[in-house]
Amino acid sequence: MNILDNISSMYTIDAKKSPSKEEEIKALQDFSTIDVPTEFIEIIQLASDIEINVSDQMYIRIWGASGCIEMNEAYEVQKYLPNSIAIGDDEGGGALIYLQGKDGFGIYYTRFADFDIEEAVKIAPSLTELLVNNVGVNTLLDI
């Protein structure tokens, strides 16, 4: 199943760039302190820097492999949130992160300025659940 082709009607893809190259994906897998979820790899093999409009209320952006490495290094994400990988943002100072947090593994939201595992809010168990099945979309919109 291609996640982007099955995206919920609550979302529209307003922009996207070329897919991540295999060597970029390998570099991300080598960089990451966790096993990068297969669903994320599948998405970035289709497109990168995907700007997703969420019910005309906000945007989320899913980075490509190189963007993930760049942003995780720039913000020292793993220093503050071990066992995580930031994969996107809300274009307003918030990060979307795969994280083993207080509510189990999944997609969490936290501010770039405040990487605190206790403050991270679990949005959904996976990108598929968020983007295809709308799990956590209301949590995302309420942030």
Non-local CB neighbours of 120 within 8 Å, separated by 6+ positions? 81, 97, 99, 101, 102, 108, 109, 110
> What are the residues facing 106 on neighbouring strands?
99
Mean model confidence pLDDT for the chain: 95
Q: How far apart are CA 81 and CA 96, in angstroms?
A: 12
- Give me the number of domains the chain comprises: 1
Residue 3 lies in a domain: no
Nearest Cα to 53, choosing from 16, 95, 97? 16
Looking at the predicted structure, is the pLDDT value of residue 85 above 80?
yes
Of 139 and 65, the one with more pLDDT: 65
pTM: 0.95
DSSP state of 3: T
Looking at the predicted structure, is the pLDDT value of residue 2 above 90?
no
User: Average of pLDDT values for 118-134?
Assistant: 95
Residue 116 lies in a domain: yes
Q: How far apart are CA 107 and CA 125, in angstroms?
A: 6
Looking at the predicted structure, is the pLDDT value of residue 30 above 90?
yes
Residue 4 lies in a domain: no
Nearest Cα to 22, choosing from 48, 45, 1? 45
Q: How far apart are CA 41 and CA 143, in angstroms?
A: 26
Residue 98 lies in a domain: yes
Within a 10 A sphere around the Cβ of 44, how many other Cβ atoms?
A: 25
Please report the pLDDT score of residue 1 as a whole number. 62
Residue 2 lies in a domain: no
Residue 93 lies in a domain: yes
CATH number at residue 20: 3.40.1580.10
Residue 6 lies in a domain: no
Q: Which domain holds residue 76?
A: 11-142
User: Average of pLDDT values for 6-15?
Assistant: 96
Rg of the chain, C-alpha, whole Å: 14
